[in-house]
DNA sequence: TATCCTTAGTGTACTAAAAACACTAAAGAC
DNA sequence: GTCTTTAGTGTTTTTAGTACACTAAGGATA
């Protein structure tokens, strides 16, 4: 009876909102296999690291982000997923507020960029599957929890909040019902500040009453 | 830069219903670490196996079950979870209809038995955490999908169906509302058979209209 | 400085789903 | 034949969800 310890990698789906669209950080692989293919940021586990440590390291190195929301997604281990042999990928997804990423090239990754999560090109390995899985998870999370606080700046307008939901769920929501829900549930509260710089009526800025994950009965 | 490939184990939370209670298969470890402690059935990955293969093998070897519902849960890798060092556990949960298990001892496991999932003793490693996680997942699955077909025999009474839900959710449900929901959603259908042997009015036996997983809008 | 354009902000009426609730039916035990 | 036990069945009330249209305020422009 032979035991096998497959190699372990960690891949991270890093979501953010840009131009009202849900986007994911995609890099271009510098090396084989799948050299020059677009792929998720990821890498091998280093000695002494947990998978979460590795995910945090990838977030820091490739996106310049500390303290983002991070959640384990699934472990992919189909033997055909990597031509080099059986390689387990423990996957995570991260949520980063708009504009907080500092995208950096590294030795093995080129041309890191944000791409629309819903219309990605063919990615290396089984990375398209991983992204689909992450979107699915994000969509259901967003309907039953307050995680969106980690996709928005500290202060935001209710329209920005709504657009964030719409860009994740892929459908439009009713403005009045949306606001009613949030105010009734006490998830957000008014501040005394207003948005500036638009060429229209300024919008009141709001903040989340809590920036800790919490489960909710219902949502949309 | 050193890469590390931690050892990979697979642990399985095997649920079934016995005496109207949600139970889990628990074994007693024959060896260190945690010799003689109760624990989840599990083991190391064999050469060429995926984690799912290993979970199916464990189900077959320890519970004598083929073709049960099986779903990956989470990958636990806290460095302190195993005194031997960093060992990743890819965990699964399985659903087995009542009476379909053939519990077997194996070389490394003694006294396999079903125990109430909600009142387990202290288990080896982080196995209590794994069970909590599995219960949580099962509870939410049961509210939004038809997975319970895999916890019931082909033919069952509506009372058995309701008791299954109640034992998983840990609360009682209204008989009329429960039946209405199932019939309206078309999840179960009547058969011409009736339960026998009770000392009361026989109950009509029902079956699921479909035994494939499907998502539902709402439930309980 | 008046008008226009754009986004902000607000409440009510209708519809659908969930929850609460109590009696009759049929079999076996005694 | 009576008692005990579980099976089986609809309606009403309550709650949550959905649909919907106008006024407000600032910047741009003529």
Model pLDDT for residues A146-160, shown as the tens digit of each residue:
999 999 999 999 999
pLDDT at residue number A1 = 53
Nearest CA in chain A to B51: A77
Model pLDDT for residues A64-120, shown as the tens digit of each residue:
999 999 999 999 999 999 999 999 999 999 999 999 999 988 887 889 999 999 999
Task: Tell which wins on pLDDT, A3 or A124.
Answer: A124
CB-based contacts of A131, cutoff 8 Å, min separation 6: A13, A24, A40, A117, A120, A123
Contact B50, A79 (CB under 8 A): yes
Residues of chain B with pLDDT under 50: none
Q: Which phi and psi (to 5°) does residue B137 adopt? A: -65, -45
pLDDT at residue number B109 = 81
Bases in strand C with any atom closer than 7 Å to a protein CB: 5-12, 17-22, 25-29
Model pLDDT for residues B172-187, shown as the tens digit of each residue:
999 999 999 999 999 9
- Helical (H) or strand (E) element with B168: helix B158-169
Model pLDDT for residues A187-217, shown as the tens digit of each residue:
999 999 999 877 899 999 999 999 888 877 6
Nearest CA in chain A to B44: A3
Residue A145, CB half-sphere, CA atoms under 13 Å: how many?
Answer: 16
pLDDT at residue number B220 = 63
A42 neighbourhood in chain B, CB within 8 Å: none
* Residue pairs spanning A and B at CB distance below 8 A: 73
Rg (alpha carbons) of chain B, rounded to whole number: 19
Q: Do B45 and A6 touch (CB under 8 A)?
A: yes
- Reported confidence tier of residue A58, pLDDT bands at 50, 70, 90: very high
pLDDT at residue number A3 = 60
What does the mean pLDDT of chain A come to?
94
pLDDT at residue number A106 = 81
Q: How far apart are CA B189 and CA B11, in angstroms?
A: 36
pLDDT at residue number A104 = 86
Task: Tell which wins on pLDDT, A127 or A219.
Answer: A127
The dihedral region occupied by B125, where left means phi > 0, alpha psi between -120 and 50, and beta the remainder, is: left
């Amino acid at each position: 009876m032979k035991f096998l310890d497959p190699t372990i990698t960690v891949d991270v789906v890093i979501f953010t909102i840009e131009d009202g669209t849900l986007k994911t950080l995609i890099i271009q692989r510098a090396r084989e296999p799948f050299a020059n293919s677009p792929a998720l940021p990821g890498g091998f586990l280093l000695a002494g690291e947990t998978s979460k440590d590795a995910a945090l390291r990838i977030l820091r190195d490739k996106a310049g982000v500390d303290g983002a929301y991070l959640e384990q997604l699934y472990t992919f281990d189909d033997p055909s997923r990597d031509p080099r042999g059986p390689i387990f990928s423990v996957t995570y997804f991260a949520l980063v507020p708009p504009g907080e990423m500092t995208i950096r090239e590294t030795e093995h990754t080129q041309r890191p960029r944000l791409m629309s999560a819903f219309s990605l090109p063919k990615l290396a390995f089984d990375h398209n599957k991983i992204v689909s899985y992450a979107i699915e998870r994000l969509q259901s999370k967003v309907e039953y929890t307050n995680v969106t606080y980690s996709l928005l700046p500290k202060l935001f307008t209710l329209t920005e909040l709504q657009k964030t939901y719409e860009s994740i769920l892929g459908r439009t929501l009713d403005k009045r019902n949306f606001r009613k829900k949030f105010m009734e549930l006490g998830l957000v509260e008014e501040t005394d500040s207003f948005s500036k710089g638009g060429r229209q009526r300024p919008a009141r800025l709001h903040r989340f009453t809590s920036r800790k994950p919490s489960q909710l009965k219902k949502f949309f």
